Chain A
Amino acid sequence: MKTKNTSRQDTEGSALLAALLVVMTVGALSATAIQMQVSSLRQQETANDRKRAFYLAEAGLSEALLSLRDGGLGQVGTKAMPAGFGEGYVFTSAVEDAYGNFIVHSTGIAPRARHRLGLSIERQVLSPGSLGFFGDEALTVGGGTQLSYVDSVRADEKLDRESLAGAVVGLVIPGATPTEEYNGTVYPENVGPRFGGNGTIDVENVGSGAYTNLQADVVRGPAAVLDIQLGATVSGATAAQAEAVVMPKLNWPAFALLGSVNLTTGISEALTTTENHYPNVTVSGGAVLRIVGPFRASMDTLTIATGATLEIDSSAGPVELHVSDSVNFAGGSSVTNVTLDAGGLHLLVHGDDSVAPAVQLRMTGTFHGVLYAPLAAVALPRGLAWTGSAVARTLDIPRDSTLIFDSAVISEVAAQIFYIPISWNLLAAPKDIANPMAYNPEATYAGLGITAATPAIAWQPVEQVIKYEGHDEKEYVYRGVTGGIDVDLVATTLETINAIDPRFIDEAEPDGVFVQR
């Protein structure tokens, strides 16, 4: 029994040895396989993070563009407090160059990768007056009409406005090259004389003696049908555009309600308090309503009776009148502009003709200004010299009209501003951001115990304006939160205006919101 026991004792453990060998081998193999899988998984995750960071940066650019189009600054989140989006973070910075273009940098932050993209955005201003004499659905130009061109702003450089009054015809520059340099100033391309539409455009040939002579380009959409009768002259380009001509949207201003204005015979009154709503403005025969700019107002109806005068004084700033229902300038009434500045009066008619004609024009004399009635049918009064522009759903220009397109009408009054991306490019993320160990918003937010704001609510307010010179020796302007500027972009700070600076307040709206260009 003893021997038997000893033998069993001697062989005990040999199976364990073999089992251990097998287990260790399998374990080593498994560890190697797991290690390789982990390594491959990490590679895959890093590759995914790179793509995630790229798309986060793209999302940031879109949000910045949306912000600009919505009147914001293009700043979404900050480096210190980026916006949370998906499984990462994003922040953008936007600066404006000397040409009014915005340069946006967007940084996408994923756990293992960062990506930075750049987008340059052009700011285009579509002014109601820029369309010249335009009928969206139909334009009829009566025979004998003379359409010419003046740039009263440029003319100002030679003559003051008083002398311009009697010499306007002499200053007409038929077929002027819009980009020509004058007195060292290169004028933009979009100031040339123009008329057109997106529907039918009929140009009749002869009025009471003279043949139609339109010293202008035709601006027309692809569906527009242009019919120029034999004998009529159109000096500019007549080719159709690839897309329909866009008419700026009109936004109804929310002004404080004030009482109606009703001027009876012999009374003269001046309106100077800006940004009010007058339900009905009526000027009876013999009365004079004087409106002094800068002035903005809205009204339901504007009626100037026979013998009454609406006098515009835009010497200190433009006059902008929004009318919701109807404009009625009766025969024998007059609408005068003491400055003769066509850019000084913008008459913006929001109404259509569903109840009654929204625009009735029978005044006499001259008119200097912009009439913009995108939903109404408009017939210009016969025998009136019209300087500026007139844009309507349908526009009827009577025979023997004298029209002068004044490029001074191109302004930001009631203009629709477009932000057009013109350059997208890849950028390297700065070293401090590129290193996930040095820059980790997730840890920052975890430390603060808060959640990152979504991009839509991470739009930054303006607290500071910094004018600076970049490394390319060009000047830029930053508008945003204090300390939000990307210091890597700045070579030399030229000027800093903080919220407490009086100059900052000067540029602010009454509610204290800084005016964003």
Chain B
Amino acid sequence: MLRVRHSRLASGRLKSGRLKSGRPKSGFSLVELMIGLSLVTVLLVNTTVLLNSTTAATTSSQEQLDLDNLASQLLDRIALALMEADKEITLPQNVAPQHSNLINYQSSMGLTDGDVVYSDPSRIEFQLMDSEVIWTRNAGSPEAQDVVWGRFVREFLFEETGGNLADDNDNGLIDEAGLSFNIDGSSVLIRLTLEKETRRNGPITAQAWTRATFRN
């Protein structure tokens, strides 16, 4: 429309200060306008739908990605800590189907006066109440210090119903928690499932597992 008005100005017909009488020869008819508006509306609606669905898909994908990354980072952190542990003093020693949602360990800190020095007793534990992974130094003592390493841990591992004394997810463990440890000789199998409630898509889950070999 702007282009039309500009065209009129440019044509010089308004320069004299009066309009030419009669029906203008340019512009849209009502029918054309309606058709045009309808098309624009359809286009806008489609664009909005497309935008919304794209945004939803992107958000969902991003949330899943974030949770996957969180699970991966948390698992790496746990695995690295346990790599430093001395296998002889790591408890509980659980071989499948036994499992535990906590692990007590001491890390090697290197040598002092020719002898290996170990860290204070530490614990990595899944706390169901807050769905958190807690690392504790000097667990059980008055000097205990807690650090939250991760959140959104699922009550039970992925596809595990829990409470039915059955191996629902067919991984050899029964009713295992969202963070479970199996010590098998010189290594530990760590399984983790995170679950997070999202605004659009309800709960999403991320699962990860790794085997960490004790280096000490």
Partner-B contacts on A (CB < 8 A): 3, 6-7, 9-14, 18, 21-22, 25, 29, 32-33, 36, 40, 43, 47, 50-51, 54, 97-99, 101, 103, 118, 120, 421-426, 472, 474
Contact = CB atoms under 8 A, between A and B. Distances in A.
B108 A423 contact: yes
3 A-B pairs with least C-beta separation: A99-B114, A424-B215, A3-B25
B26 A120 contact: no
Interface of B: 3-4, 7, 25-28, 36, 39-40, 43, 47, 50-51, 54, 58, 62, 65, 69, 72-73, 76, 80, 83-84, 107-114, 116, 215-216
Interface of B is mostly: helix
Given A36-B58, A426-B80, 14 more contacts: A3-B26, A18-B39, A33-B54, A40-B62, A51-B76, A97-B114, A99-B111, A101-B111, A120-B111, A422-B116, A422-B216, A423-B116, A472-B112, A474-B112
A424 B216 contact: yes
A103 B110 CA distance: 8
Contacts of A118: 110
A424 B69 contact: no
A22 B116 CA distance: 68
B69 A18 contact: no
Contact of B62 (A36, A51, A98, A99): A36
A97 B51 contact: no
Nearest to B44: A21
Contacts of B84: 424-426
Contacts of B43: 18, 21-22
18 contacts: A6-B7, A10-B27, A18-B39, A18-B43, A21-B43, A29-B51, A33-B58, A40-B65, A43-B69, A97-B114, A99-B114, A103-B111, A120-B110, A421-B215, A422-B111, A424-B83, A424-B216, A425-B216
Contacts of A11: 28
Contact of B69 (A47, A425, A426): A47
A425 B116 CA distance: 11
Contacts of A424: 83-84, 108, 215-216
B110 A425 contact: yes
A423 B43 CA distance: 68
A10 B62 contact: no
A405 B167 CA distance: 61
B28 A18 contact: no
A102 B84 CA distance: 18
A442 to B, nearest CB: 25
A242 to B, nearest CB: 14
Contacts of B111: 97, 99, 101, 103, 120, 422-423
Contacts of A21: 43
Listed residue (B4, B36, B73) with the most chain A CB atoms within 10 angstroms of its CB: B4
A101 B114 CA distance: 7
Nearest to B3: A13
B82 to A, nearest CB: 11
B47 A22 contact: yes
Contact of A25 (B27, B51, B114): B51
Listed residue (A11, A13, A421, A472) with the most chain B CB atoms within 10 angstroms of its CB: A11
Contacts of B28: 11
A47 B27 CA distance: 60
A29 B54 contact: yes
Nearest to A61: B215
Given A32-B58, A424-B215, A472-B112, A10 B4 contact: yes
A31 to B, nearest CB: 12
Contacts of A54: 80
A405 to B, nearest CB: 26
Contacts of A36: 58, 62
B180 to A, nearest CB: 23
A51 B50 CA distance: 38
Nearest to A33: B58
B26 A6 contact: yes
Contacts of A426: 80, 83-84
A118 B111 CA distance: 10
A47 B73 CA distance: 8
Contact of A10 (B26, B83, B109): B26
Contacts of B69: 43, 47
